[in-house]
Amino acid sequence: MSNIYKKIYKEIKKYPNIVIARHIGPDPDALGSQFALKELIKNKFPKKNVYAIGATSSRFKFMGILDKIEEINKENTLLIVLDTPNIKRIDSVDLEQYSHIIKIDHHPLVDKISTIELIDETASSTGQLILEFIYVNHLTLTDSIAKNIYMAIISDTGRFMHDYTTNRTFELITKMLKKTNIDFTSLYEPLYMRPLSEIRFQGYIFENMEVTESGVAYIKITEDLLKKFGVDSASSGNIISELKFVNEILVWIFLTEDKKNNIIRANIRSRGPVINEIATSYGGGGHKYASGARLNNWQQADSLIVDLDELTEEYTKGHVK
């Protein structure tokens, strides 16, 4: 495994221009990994032009400012895609414009975009992979790099709670905290502050979601509803993990209407049945217990609910694990 980390470093060395991209709807793992990698490269190679690109996230603005690129010279520019398994989810990138590409990700592989891909599904987060990259290549950790990586890891692990939080995660974090002086407890407040409108919306979801007999909870969120509560579709993403520890719920689905893209966004979580195969059969994908899909209409949403309900029923009977 350490070979691929070295190979990526060698590639980075070669190019004067480096563009670092990640998925649409960025989370702290995507952003923190992007900013940490940019700073690492800039510190080691001050003459290189390094751009962290993608749409700005108002919620996580405090993590850093994203760059704009004017034009791309195919031959001397390296594109690094972080935290994104699907081509269509890469933010602000036309892959045709690049002939040198690297991917670093911890999601199961969906689309292969390069011959140099570091995919480690056992890693908690892309932030964890960036930390491995630092140690394998003996790069210098600064406090701001450490802060971005810390936020990346705590966010994707739900503060070291979700699956894929391993001994390795703690080993790397401990090593990082010993080397730097970051006040890590102060990083939680900006990450977890939420507007009251979102809390009220959360109350609505908990009150109105349906729960089937087998233990599938689901809620249909229309754009009108989002408007009524003054929240955007990203809000449901912040609420979904709150249902992880509910006796009666094994699988839960948030179905959010997105009129602009003419789709219904399905976010699915599980604390038992493996759900990503069903998500994949609807054109989506993801982890075993956290998946998503973009659906074409509400009929498809209903059929997804039925499929997950059957899966959960089988699971409860002990037929599938």
Identify which of residues 83 and 257 has a Cβ nearer to Mn ion in the complex: 83
Options 27-35, 68-76, 267-275, 302-310: segment touching Mn ion (CB under 5 A): 27-35
Q: Considering only 59-67, 156-164, 178-186, 230-238, which stretch makes contact with Mn ion by CB under 5 A?
A: 156-164
Residue 29 touches Mn ion, criterion: CB under 5 A? yes
Residue whose structure tokens are 């802060």: 147
Q: Which residue has the tokens 């992880």?
A: 244
Give the per-residue SS3 of 199-238: HHHHHHHHHHCEECCCCEEEEEECHHHHHHHCCCCHHHHH
120 binds Mn ion (CB under 5 A): no
* Least CB distance to Mn ion at residue 10 (A): 25
- Check if the beta carbon of residue 138 is closer than 8 Å to that of residue 21: no
How far is the C-alpha of 32 from the C-alpha of 172, rounded, in Å? 16
Cβ proximity to Mn ion: between 89 and 294 the closer is: 89
- At closest approach, how far in Å is the CB of 162 from Mn ion? 11
The 57-96 contact track toward Mn ion, x by CB under 5 A, reads --------------------------x-------------
Residue 156 contacts Mn ion per CB under 5 A: yes
Single out the residue of 56, 160, 42, 41 nearest to residue 104, CA to CA.
41
| Minimum separation from the CB atom of position 228 to Mn ion (A) | 31
Reduced to 3 states (helix: H, G, I; strand: E, B; else coil), residue 17 is strand
Q: Which residue is nearest to Mn ion (CB)?
A: 29
Supply the DSSP string of 140-180, one letter for each residue: PP-HHHHHHHHHHHHHHHTTTTSTT--HHHHHHHHHHHHHS
Q: Which residues bind Mn ion (CB under 5 A)?
A: 29, 83, 125-126, 156
